[in-house]
Amino acid sequence: MARNAEKAMTALARFRQAQLEEGKVKERRPFLASECSELPKAEKWRRQIISEISKKVAQIQNAGLGEFKIRDLNDEINKLLREKGHWEVRIKELGGPDYGRVGPKMLDHEGKEVPGNRGYKYFGAAKDLPGVRELFEKEPVPPPRKTRAELMKDIDAEYYGYRDEDDGVLVPLEQEYEKHAITEAVEKWKAEKEARLAGEGGGDKEEDEEEYIYAVQDEEHSDEEMKDANEGGEGAQTFIAHVPVPSQKEIEEALVRRKKMELLQKYASETLMAQSEEAKTLLGL
């Protein structure tokens, strides 16, 4: 491979160098703004970038270029805007004016940023591209919520249903439905009654006898006696009480006497108890 010194000696290199010295070939803009160390050249490159941005902004206004061409132009414009910002910073570093503060921002204002995506702007027809138009659509403002006091203003007797019968329509409908419901209930009861009577075969109903809770079963009978008693009647069972069973009234009187004795033993003194016993003896109780 040829060295740099050999490349510089080629005919093409010497021809281009001669043209640069004569001023016939345009000087290329440095890729990095930091590579420029002269203020006039930095301002020159900034003006060149502004000119390129103006041309591309005019081109992107044409919606007939197609979606892909418009997207490419919009990307190029954003790239040039960032480069312009770098040159403005470099001009300030070299002692020039602060274009970021005092410079015109007409080109920047033509673009529109997407909410939440700061820095990237859409120009001209790029604002109407599919997927971009929806980003700029503002959501409808939700209706203001009513306060509790405003809601209570609309509440009256009609809200609680107190005026439902004032129109004269509801009451007749309810009466008609009530008659229909009563008729259905009566028919259902009659059908159930006829079915029950038909199932019993027309026989006499035997009334259920109340169970006698004081009955005492003789546990001393042998198994044979119980077997004979069961065989004697169909389902009949005999109860034999070997001790006198008190009645309900006698049980209540016994409970009352027991309660009186407990109260006397708890609250009466021995002297009072003795006097009470003596009085009962004299009275023959």
pLDDT for res 135: 75
In angstroms, rounded to a whole number, what is the distance separating the alpha carbons of residues 192 and 202? 15
Contact assessment for residue 111 and residue 122, using Cβ atoms and an 8 Å cutoff: yes
110: which residues sit within 8 A by CB, 6+ positions away? 57, 123, 124
pLDDT for res 255: 92
pLDDT for res 4: 65
In angstroms, rounded to a whole number, what is the distance separating the alpha carbons of residues 126 and 60? 7
pLDDT for res 206: 44
Give the CA distances from residue 111 to residues 12, 135, 144, 164, in Å, rounded to whole numbers and listed in that order: 44, 14, 33, 62
pLDDT for res 103: 62
In angstroms, rounded to a whole number, what is the distance separating the alpha carbons of residues 261 and 280? 14
The neighbouring-strand residues paired with 112 are 122
pLDDT for res 252: 92
pLDDT for res 62: 87
The neighbouring-strand residues paired with 117 are 114
Determine the distance from the C-alpha atom of residue 256 to the mean position of all C-alpha atoms in its chain, rounded to a whole number: 67
pLDDT for res 178: 93
Up-side HSE of residue 179: CA atoms within 13 Å toward CB? 5
pLDDT for res 205: 47
- Report mean pLDDT in 10-residue bins for the chain, 285 residues: 62 75 69 84 87 88 87 89 87 83 61 64 83 75 86 83 79 90 93 86 49 52 52 54 80 90 77 79 76
Around Cβ 43, how many Cβ atoms within 10 Å? 19
